[in-house]
Structure 1
Amino acid sequence: DDHRGGGYGDRRDDRRDERRDDRRDDRGGFRRDDSRGDRGGFRGRDDRGGRGPRRDDRGGRPGGFRGRDDRRDDRRGGGRFRDERDRDRDRDRDREPIKRLPIPEDVTGDEIDKDVRQELQSLPKTLAEDVAKNLVMVARLIDEDPEGAYGYSKVALRLASRVAAVREAAGFAAYANQKYSEALAEFRAARRMTGTVELWPVMADCERGLGRPEKTLDMAGAPEVHKLDKAGQVEMRLVAAGARRDMGQLDAAIVTLQSPELASNSVQPWTARLRYAYADALLAAGREGEAREWFAKAVEADRDGSTDASDRLAELDGVEFVDALDESESETEGEPGNASQKDDGDED
């Protein structure tokens, strides 16, 4: 399985190393805007500038799924065979009993986005309310408890697998848990239902997670990219740069990130992460002076703390971070009471 389980390392330097392995901020983040709160649904690609589902994604290296089935999907490139497998999977899912999960009393289902609510109007009223509550739980949990969010997404999927918003939410929940093959299948299903291209960057990032950066770059050059809005195009650039880094092409990653959006002095939802990714790529290429400059620029643009640019900048300036837990343990060991207990044991 894949990745979002463990959180970043406790130590700052450990976290930095893990971040480079995970390509945390060298790619598209696919985060929900914090202002979206607990609203169910993952619509609106301008929300990429905030926090939310992203493939860092808590404690493992991308590329966990490299199974034969995944490679076969890649060779076929979609089409009839994959559609048939998707339909078979849907039929199998429909036969499974629904395993309900508890819904907190404060969740009413009214919190969902209006466009998602509109999609749910195709369902019977009681069923729509049930699905809405589960989608709210997905959105509420996906950052802090991705496994929990995944569970609620499976309930919503079992209840309403033919609703695009449900497939999209299931895709993001799978993505947040590093289940990239499953996420990709759900995103493809949502895209077939809506006919839109807004999920193209996160689909490309799933290919990265599956260890197929070449496929990611193919998608970055596809006609669909030209149909994306500005936020989507920036996201695609971040994903493509990450794929270059996966392939060890640091200079190409740096060039990929160079763009009018990077050079602009105006702060947009994506500015902090774009500058951060550029700084991180520069640092990986050994260009520390330039990296420091761009981490500082990322700090200026990071108004909501969506990156740890300030920590990275401090590290470059020689500031050492001490693990608070280790420090407290050391203090406890040094307390007089503990010392006397040790002495008593020695006397025995």
Structure 2
Amino acid sequence: MVARLIDEDPEGAYAYSKIALRLASRVAAVREAAGFAAYANQKYSEALAEFRAARRMTGNVDLWPVMADCERGLGRPEKALDMAGAPEVHKLDKAGQVEMRLVAAGARRDIGQLDAAIVTLQSPELASNSVQPWTARLRYAYADALLAAGREDEAREWFAKAVESDKDGSTDASDRLAELDGVEFVDALVEDEDEDEVAPEAEAEDEAEDESETATDAEADTDTDTDPEVETEVDDEDDIVEAERTKPVVEADDDDEAPRG
């Protein structure tokens, strides 16, 4: 169960391993699984203790490289280098020896020895054209060390080789290679989210503009409408003027004429 959870849910694997330890702490496989669960959660001190316990129970040296890497995680790269030169390394199988090289190279980089890290990784396994389970990680580590040392052209070559051998995507070599080639990746999901955020804002702006136009039209209508009382007054004045203009002239009657002398 712990092994199945480690990649997908490291914290869940760790919690499960603690339960397993309470139930079967004297079982080597349980101690080893607990060690890997702690290691996946960067609890290096706890992981190292579990790996040591499992090794004491079995006498197996297979855990030697990961124990050395725990020393690195605890800030003790010199201790990891000591372990890389120990007799136990000669008892490791090919995969274990390659893993030990990776840890030793990482320790060299931890103390600023970039050239030494590159030399540490140079090996028959690195030069081989055959693809083994460790090939992609070894080539990737070599490319990364070259890049850290400023040897970009060589780094690009080895990242490309790592991509060729990385059939299951265990590294991000393809991304690193694209980065060196100047390729920029765009997260389509983020773009969609941005568009979703912009759309409501645009709709709100359109609504605000519509409301503003409606208000402006209403004001214009109000300004152009004439007050009925004013219209009535103006009409009355016009009628008076017209009446004065067309008013008939009344002639005086004969009776009103002045007496003739």
Please say if residues 150 and 177 of structure 1, whose CA atoms lie closer than 8 Å, have aligned partners that are also in contact: yes
* 1:325 shift after superposition: 3.8
Counterpart of 1:313 in structure 2 is 177
When the two structures are superposed, what TM-score results if normalisation uses the length of structure 2? 0.77
Larger RCO (alpha carbons 8 Å, 6+ apart): 1
Corresponding residue number in structure 1 for 2:228: none
Shift in Å, 1:342: 5.0
Q: TM-score, normalised by structure 1?
A: 0.58
- In 1: Cα distance, 2:85 partner to 2:207 partner: 71
Whether the 8 Å CA contact 1:168–1:187 is kept in 2: the answer is: yes
Match of 1:254 in 2: 118
In structure 1, how many angstroms separate the alpha carbons of the residues matched to 2:72 and 2:191? 38
Structure 1 unpaired stretches of 5+: 1-135
| Contact preservation (8 Å) 1:333, 1:339 | no
| CA radius of gyration, larger in | 2
Q: Secondary structure in 2 aligned to 1:188?
A: helix
The answer as to whether partners of 1:244 and 1:253 remain within 8 angstroms in 2 is yes
Offset of 1:323 from its aligned partner? Answer: 2.8
Counterpart CA distance in 2 for 1:279 and 1:344 is 56
Following TM superposition, the consecutive aligned residue runs of length 4 or more in structure 1 with deviations greater than 6 angstroms are 345-348
Distance in structure 1 (CA, Å) of the matches to 2:188 and 2:143: 27
Aligned pair partner of 1:304 in 161, 165, 168: 168
Which of 194, 198, 201 in structure 2 is aligned with 1:334? 198
The alpha-carbon distance between structure 1 residues 204 and 345, as it changes in their structure 2 partners (threshold 3 A), is farther
Instruction: From 51, 54, 76, give the equivalent of 1:187.
Output: 51
Q: Offset at 1:220?
A: 0.4
Q: Over residues 201-256 of structure 1, what are the superposed CA-to-partner deviations in whole Å (9 max), with x where a residue is unaligned?
A: 00000000001101100100111101111100000000010111111111111111
Whole-Å separation in 2 of the counterparts to 1:192 and 1:241: 27
Sequence identity percentage: 88
Q: Which runs of 5+ in 2 are unaligned?
A: 213-261
Tell me the number of residue pairs that the alignment of Structure 1 and Structure 2 aligns.
211
1:149 equivalent in alignment to 2:13 = yes
Q: Deviations over 1:258-311 (max 9, x none)?
A: 001000111111000000000011111111100010011111111111111111
Question: What SS class does the counterpart of residue 168 from structure 1 fall into?
Answer: helix
1:1-348 mapped onto 2 (5 Å cutoff): 136=1, 138-335=2-199, 337-342=200-205
Using the alignment, how far apart are the partners of 1:252 and 1:266 within structure 2?
25
For 1:302 and 1:169, locate their aligned partners in 2 and report how far apart those are by CA, in whole Å. Answer: 26
Partner of 1:10: none
CA-to-aligned-CA distance 1:177-222 (integer Å, 9 cap, x gap): 0000000000000000000110000000000000110110010011
